[in-house]
Chain A
Amino acid sequence: MTDMPDDRGAGRSAATSTASIMRPDARTKSRNAAEKRFRAYGLGAIVIGILALVFLLASILYRGLPAFTQTYISIDVALPAETLDPEGNRDPAEMAKVITFGYAGLVDDAMQSALEARGIEVEGLNDPGVLISKQAPAQIRDWVLSNPEAVGGTERFDFLATSRIDQYYKGAVTMESAARDSQISPEQLQLADILKDEGMLTRKFNWSFVTAPDASDQRPEAAGLGVAILGSAYMMLIVLGLALPIGVAASIYLEEFAPTNRWTDIIEVNISNLAAVPSIVFGILGLAIFINFGGLPQSAPIVGGLVLTLMTLPTIIISTRASLKSVPPSIRDAALGVGASKMQAVFHHVLPLAGPGILTGTIIGLAQALGETAPLLLIGMVAFVTEYPDAPPEGFFDPATALPVQVYNWTQRADPAFAERASGAIIVLLVFLAIMNITAIVLRRKFERRW
């Protein structure tokens, strides 16, 4: 082109006539730079997100994993017949008259005699029985009532150590802090070290953290998630049983059958708005309708389940409608074309294709409900519950609590041992959420047949 006579006027620049595609021009350069910048922003956002997630998980695991192990003291306890069974009949009904308080002395005696037997002495030590959880008397009593013939002999028990001892081995309590602490003394910690060397004090995996009910402020070492897990499970059953059929039926009607007019428009807008309503508002609604007006019991999974159902419904309806919409209209035409009724077209062809999407939406809605705290606070599920609820359906009406509420509850308590348990409870909650999400993915993979 360069040797061509310039007969087209000066307007044609030399740059375009000699442009080589080997050298990018200014415009291409700036476009490429913009693209590079945009990619860098995106990558940066993802890296920040991943770092935040890693930090979150690491801190929760670091703080919460110790809750799954607990320090135990194993010790021989003499079971004197004169105090435990004054009548001498070994009849559990009579022995039950001795209340837990009557067993309290046994633990102190057992500790004293164990120290004497092994010749352990710590200068300035008083009250070595403090090392053992206040749970211990109840534990002995339960065991004795189910094994009445053992009274009069000696039995080896594994007692939970008190939370201060447990925290000492987890690093939260030190000799210095114990000196200022009214509940533990440095001498008692020294004793614990000696017991550890003797093999009487061990740290073991603590199943009761997952299975036991909540415990009072005085014995955080005994607190567990059993009631909370049951309560959450009951509520999930209720939510699944109510929200899935109602939500799917409502979406099918709205998407496939309802005429398009002002009323359906209003309903549609309201469903979208409901999905954005703060969850605590649903709690107030539940309090007003189900408890005050409907007369259902407080703190019961049935009320929690109903409130969470209301909260989950918009999520399920929106995701179900989206997956119904994504089924190509040609499938409906095809079905109607061979003479299927509207309902046959929907149930034979549209619904199976929308199924995986509906399933995923439902499980995500359930996961959201599982992690929901605020509405449950308002309907009294924040109560301190130590009794397991019965099996369903009666159990739906028994007091229970829920996993996220238990986390909230434990973070409110003064004893630092509860902070660790709160993190542990978060791990349990996350495990359940992960299981639900994995189930959603697996089911989706399994049923999603794109032929």
Chain B
Amino acid sequence: MKDTKISARGVNVYYGANHAIKDVSVEIADKTVTSFIGPSGCGKSTFLRCLNRMNDTIDIARIEGDILIDEEDIYHPDVDPVQLRAKVGMVFQKPNPFPKSIYDNVAYGPKIHGLARNKGELDEIVEKSLKRAAIWEEVKDRLQAPGTGLSGGQQQRLCIARAVATSPEVLLMDEPCSALDPIATSQIEELIDELRGRFSVVIVTHSMQQAARVSQKTAFFHLGDLVEYGDTDDIFTNPQDPRTEKYITGRIG
């Protein structure tokens, strides 16, 4: 068992009167891919967005409970969400590169966090990040071309490069392949497997096959409850809860 990276204890999330996450406690291990699965509207994306405080931008969202990353409470009043988000990178459902050049897309994070002292270092970070996102070979000759001109799968890998450029410790992925074709999806999945060596990756997915392929740990959410959490193999072969079994066999969804 690897070290615990993120530890959530008794997390409740309310959107106004809607109780979206109900008393969820989960320990997410370092250097592991953890997938959140569950039917639409079960709260898996909501919970993911709690982990880097992206829910702060929603006025009506209210969060209770503790979420600790490296034993530090990320909802502590002293925590600046900006610093937190540099440590916890995020990749979104729809590829959303900035309408700028490929280079600027990747360089933006390091620039605002002051990670590079000069142009040379910045170039190095950009190259390293694009290589990690397995897109360097495709774009190295057109770094100044607009990022939005790439194909969907390339855009998503560019977004991953952008997320890893700030050297995060955790990478959150909110259905990163839902807008991609099967080939692009398998490229991203391979990439996730490689990224596991450096980060703790948390991925929300609708595809159970994807969860089974890429993750070591799986959490099943249903109507705001964390129903079951364990090793991916166990969840898929020997689910403990009848709801999990129904979901993975396709009877609820």
A interface list, Cβ under 8 A from B:
259-260, 328, 330-341, 344, 348-349, 353, 449-451
Contact = CB atoms under 8 A, between A and B. Distances in A.
Nearest to B113: A339
A349 B98 contact: yes
* A328, A334, A340, A353 interface centre (most CB from chain B within 10 Å): A334
Contact of B99 (A259, A337, A339, A451): A451
Nearest to A327: B99
Given A332-B57, A333-B54, A340 B98 contact: no
Interface of B: 52, 54, 57, 59, 82-86, 89-92, 94, 96-100, 108-109, 112-113, 146-149, 159, 162-163, 165-166
A344 B96 CA distance: 17
A349 B162 CA distance: 15
Contacts of A340: 82, 108-109, 112
B4 to A, nearest CB: 23
A344 B52 contact: no
Contacts of B86: 338-339
A337 B82 contact: no
* A260, A328, A333, A348 interface centre (most CB from chain B within 10 Å): A333
B96 A333 contact: yes
Given A331-B96, A333-B96, A349-B98, A339 B112 contact: yes
Nearest to A342: B57
Contact of A338 (B57, B84, B89, B147): B89
Nearest to B85: A339
Contact of A339 (B96, B98, B166): B166
A404 to B, nearest CB: 40
Nearest to B146: A451
A331 B98 contact: yes
Contacts of B108: 335, 338, 340, 348
Given A332-B57, A344-B112, A337 B92 contact: yes
A333 B92 CA distance: 8
Nearest to B92: A333
A328 B83 CA distance: 24
Given A330-B96, A333-B54, A353-B99, A338 B163 contact: yes
Contacts of A337: 52, 54, 85, 89-92, 163
A269 to B, nearest CB: 19
A341 B108 CA distance: 12
Contacts of B109: 338-340
A260 B82 contact: no
B99 A341 contact: no
Given A330-B96, A349-B98, A336 B85 contact: yes
Contacts of A328: 96
A259 B166 CA distance: 30
Contacts of B162: 334, 338
A240 B250 CA distance: 62
Nearest to B99: A451
A259 B58 CA distance: 10
A341 B148 CA distance: 23
B147 A339 contact: no
A335 B90 CA distance: 10
B97 to A, nearest CB: 7
Contacts of A341: 82
A46 B147 CA distance: 41
A449 B92 contact: no
A450 to B, nearest CB: 8
Contacts of B57: 332, 336
Contacts of A335: 98, 108
Contacts of A450: 99
A451 B85 contact: no
* A331, A337, A349 interface centre (most CB from chain B within 10 Å): A337
A334 B113 CA distance: 15
Nearest to A256: B57
20 contacts: A330-B96, A331-B99, A333-B54, A333-B90, A335-B98, A337-B92, A338-B108, A338-B162, A339-B82, A339-B83, A339-B84, A339-B112, A339-B166, A340-B109, A348-B108, A353-B99, A450-B99, A451-B99, A451-B146, A451-B148
Given A337-B92, A451-B146, 18 more contacts: A328-B96, A330-B94, A331-B98, A332-B57, A334-B92, A334-B159, A336-B57, A337-B163, A338-B162, A338-B163, A339-B82, A339-B83, A339-B109, A340-B108, A353-B99, A450-B99, A451-B100, A451-B149
Nearest to A261: B59
A111 to B, nearest CB: 72
Contacts of A333: 54, 90, 92, 96
A339 to B, nearest CB: 4
A338 B113 CA distance: 9
A107 B99 CA distance: 71
Nearest to A333: B92
Contacts of A339: 82-86, 109, 112-113, 166
A126 B92 CA distance: 92
A447 to B, nearest CB: 12
Given A338-B162, A341-B82, A344-B112, A260 B96 contact: no
Contacts of A348: 108, 112
Contacts of B99: 331, 353, 449-451
A334 B96 CA distance: 6
A336 B98 contact: no
A364 to B, nearest CB: 24
A259 B96 contact: no
Contacts of A259: 59
Nearest to A344: B112
B73 to A, nearest CB: 19
Contacts of A336: 54, 57, 85
Contacts of A334: 92, 96-98, 159, 162
A336 B88 CA distance: 11
Contacts of B147: 451
A353 B98 CA distance: 10
Nearest to B83: A339
